[in-house]
Amino acid sequence: MDNPIILVAEIIGTVAFASSGAMLAIRKNMDLFGVLVLGLCVAVGGGILRDIILGQPPPGAFRDPVYAMVAMGTSVFLFIVVYLKKEILNSRYLTRYEQVMNYCDAVGLGIFTVIGVYTAHSLGYRNKFFLIFLGMLTGVGGGMIRDVLADTMPFILRKHVYAVAALAGALACVNLIDRNLYLSLATGTAIIIVIRVLATKFCWDLPRPLPKEKKEG
């Protein structure tokens, strides 16, 4: 992307999402290649799905490899850190680990959701439902691929109003984007991050037909 602000936002989102994917792979005791794959998939997977729907071949992740390189670099860095300091994953640090990963996931979700809206809008699409759908897909698509590869029920389907946060942020972004681009991106991102952080802190969940299990993957 030519816009430097959008580029910086995408790099931050890439690092955040790659961190969540790499750390999940590390907790699943995958090897270095597995850590790279999960970190890469969650960082660029949503954008690839978005670009395919928009008819923009090849997807941006392949046209500009900087995002893939950042994702792989982040994944390798985390692998080395944990490899050299394995006690990071001990129960003593587990709570801190979960908090850090939740924050990374919230930041990545917020940034990539509004980037999805922006990308479709910049190509001339104005249908609000379509813009919201693509924003949500960009935000949650990579995480769904990550969870499937890690043999875990996708986070979006089970916990802490994940999709609702993306929906709220995308809706705000879509309604503001024609008035002020940067305000719309900042507002949408902030809404998503705040909802995700509060949902995690206070254990907000959508209603279920059956009692929730004590321990979810």
Assess if residue 209 is contained within a domain.
no
- The more confident residue out of 31 and 200 is 31
The pLDDT assigned to 88 comes to: 76
| CA 48/CA 148 separation, integer angstroms | 16
CB atoms within 10 A of CB 104: 21
Q: Could you read off the pLDDT of 146-177 as tens digits, one per residue? A: 999 999 888 788 766 888 999 999 999 999 99
Assess if residue 66 is contained within a domain.
yes
> Quick one: 166 exposed, middle or buried, by C-beta within 10 A (0-12, 13-18, 19+)?
buried
Q: Assess whether pLDDT exceeds 80 at residue 75.
A: yes
Assess if residue 210 is contained within a domain.
no
Tell me the average pLDDT of the chain: 89
Torsion-angle region of residue 124: left (phi > 0), alpha (psi -120 to 50) or beta?
left
Assess if residue 145 is contained within a domain.
yes
Assess if residue 157 is contained within a domain.
yes
- The more confident residue out of 34 and 159 is 34
Assess if residue 212 is contained within a domain.
no
Q: Could you read off the pLDDT of 36-62 as tens digits, one per residue? A: 999 999 999 999 999 999 999 899 889
Assess if residue 24 is contained within a domain.
yes
| CA 35/CA 213 separation, integer angstroms | 28
Question: Where would I find the H helices in the chain?
Answer: 4-27, 32-53, 60-63, 66-84, 91-122, 128-149, 162-176, 181-202
Q: Which domain holds residue 134?
A: 4-202
CB atoms within 10 A of CB 98: 12
Considering its fold, how many domains does the chain have in total?
A: 1
Assess if residue 194 is contained within a domain.
yes
